[in-house]
């Protein structure tokens, strides 16, 4: 499906200029799926910021959903995020944003998959109890290493597999699923998890050659094309007190996409996706600060496990980076 061979020679000039300094290793020392531009700590920091912005965007969407349809909210999010790109391209001559370097079909496909993922996600939450849907959707982190192995040639050692499973254990404790299943909701939740993992794999593949701004631009543009036909039937005029929420929705949405593209550019898909668990932590904090919902003991315990697993991975990756051992651990390594 995807070419496993890295393509550093096709890096755009603008991307090379903005790209941070990385620890270069001889090509012979890089295992399958490893690229010379990898900077795991930088990628993990971007992933943490991306999932915080995703949580903030979800909060704005939740507040707006009281008076607006989900598809309408998606339209405003794409439109408000798309406007700054139009300004950069038209007024500041940033036409390099339009240039897809290697795989235009994958870029477009990624945008379509993202739309399907959102539809599946909201469908799952509408049919399943909140805790059950949350636990199921977060299984996407378990699909990412599998997809990364088969499609990108990435090796995931026992240490990272353990971190993924420990983080998922924290999600189960935090979400405390009831087991009251709905067949359609179960299918939609698993579909959302698989689609999210597919998006992560596509980002890792595209990050080898594409600018984060380019990927974000086409995601917003394709998203607008897909949801705009529904607006005449669903749109309602935003109230003056909702303007700030709409702006926050657009800003957090565009920053989330840029940070996410950056994360998968500089870190392995399995590693960057690990930080998706932190969304529940941010959601808990937002719920406490805005809706006065205090976290229960199981939420604190689950959050502690998630944070601990992420911190351990960060510390280990920093150690490997400083010692020049950036290649991914092969099966059998620690």
Does 9 reside within a domain? no
For residue 199, what pLDDT is reported?
82
Does 3 reside within a domain? no
Q: Give counts: helices (H), strands (E), the chain.
A: 14, 0
Does 141 reside within a domain? yes
Find tokens 């300004």 and name the residue: 87
Q: Domain span at residue 124? A: 55-322
Does 106 reside within a domain? yes
d(CA 104, CA 206): 10
For residue 247, what pLDDT is reported?
92
For residue 49, what pLDDT is reported?
93
CA nearest to 239, candidates 58, 59, 64, 61: 64
Contact present, 61 and 249 (Cβ < 8 Å): yes
Structure letter (DSSP) for residue 207: T
d(CA 41, CA 43): 5
Token reading at 208: 């080898």
Does 330 reside within a domain? no
Name the domain count of the chain.
1
3-state secondary structure of 6: coil
Does 160 reside within a domain? yes
Give the predicted TM-score (pTM) of the model. 0.68
d(CA 318, CA 323): 9
- What pLDDT tens digit does each residue of the chain (334 aa) get? 455 444 444 444 444 434 434 344 444 444 444 454 567 888 889 999 998 998 888 888 878 877 888 788 888 888 988 999 999 999 998 999 999 988 899 899 988 998 888 777 767 776 776 566 666 777 776 676 667 666 666 666 677 778 778 877 877 786 676 666 678 878 888 888 888 888 877 877 787 788 888 888 998 899 899 989 999 998 888 899 999 999 998 899 889 888 988 887 888 766 777 787 787 788 778 877 887 776 677 767 877 887 777 677 767 766 766 676 544 433 333 3
d(CA 12, CA 14): 6
54-63 CB burial, b ≥16 within 10 A, e <16 = bbbbbbbbbb
For residue 153, what pLDDT is reported?
66
Does 14 reside within a domain? no
Does 238 reside within a domain? yes
């Amino acid at each position: 499906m995807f070419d496993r061979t890295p393509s550093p020679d096709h890096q755009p000039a603008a991307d090379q200029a903005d790209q941070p300094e990385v620890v270069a290793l001889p090509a012979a020392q890089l295992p399958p799926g490893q690229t010379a531009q990898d900077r795991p700590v930088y990628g993990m920091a971007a992933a943490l910021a991306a999932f915080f912005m995703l949580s903030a965007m979800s909060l704005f969407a939740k507040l707006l959903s009281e008076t607006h349809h989900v598809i309408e909210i998606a339209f405003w999010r794409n439109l408000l995020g798309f406007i700054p790109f139009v300004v950069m391209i038209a007024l500041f001559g940033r036409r390099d944003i339009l240039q897809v370097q290697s795989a235009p079909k994958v870029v477009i496909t990624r945008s379509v998959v993202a739309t399907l993922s959102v539809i599946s996600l909201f469908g799952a939450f509408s049919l399943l109890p909140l805790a059950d849907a949350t636990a199921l959707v977060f299984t996407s982190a378990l699909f990412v290493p599998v997809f990364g192995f088969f499609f990108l040639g990435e090796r995931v050692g026992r240490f990272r597999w353990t971190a993924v499973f420990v983080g998922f254990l924290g999600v189960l404790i935090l979400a405390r699923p009831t087991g009251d299943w709905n067949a359609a909701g179960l299918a939609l939740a698993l579909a959302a998890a698989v689609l999210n993992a597919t998006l992560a794999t596509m980002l890792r593949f595209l990050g080898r050659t594409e600018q984060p701004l380019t990927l974000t631009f086409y995601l917003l543009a394709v998203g607008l094309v897909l949801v705009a036909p529904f607006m005449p039937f669903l749109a309602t005029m935003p109230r003056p007190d909702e303007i700030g929420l709409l702006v926050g929705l657009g800003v957090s949405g565009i920053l989330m996409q840029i940070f996410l593209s950056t994360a998968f550019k500089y870190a392995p898909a399995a590693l960057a996706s690990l930080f998706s668990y932190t969304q529940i932590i941010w959601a808990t904090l937002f719920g406490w600060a805005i809706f006065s919902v205090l976290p229960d003991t199981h939420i604190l315990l689950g959050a502690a496990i998630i944070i601990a697993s992420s911190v351990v991975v960060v510390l280990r990756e920093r150690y490997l980076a400083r010692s020049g051992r950036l290649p991914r651990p092969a099966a059998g390594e620690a």
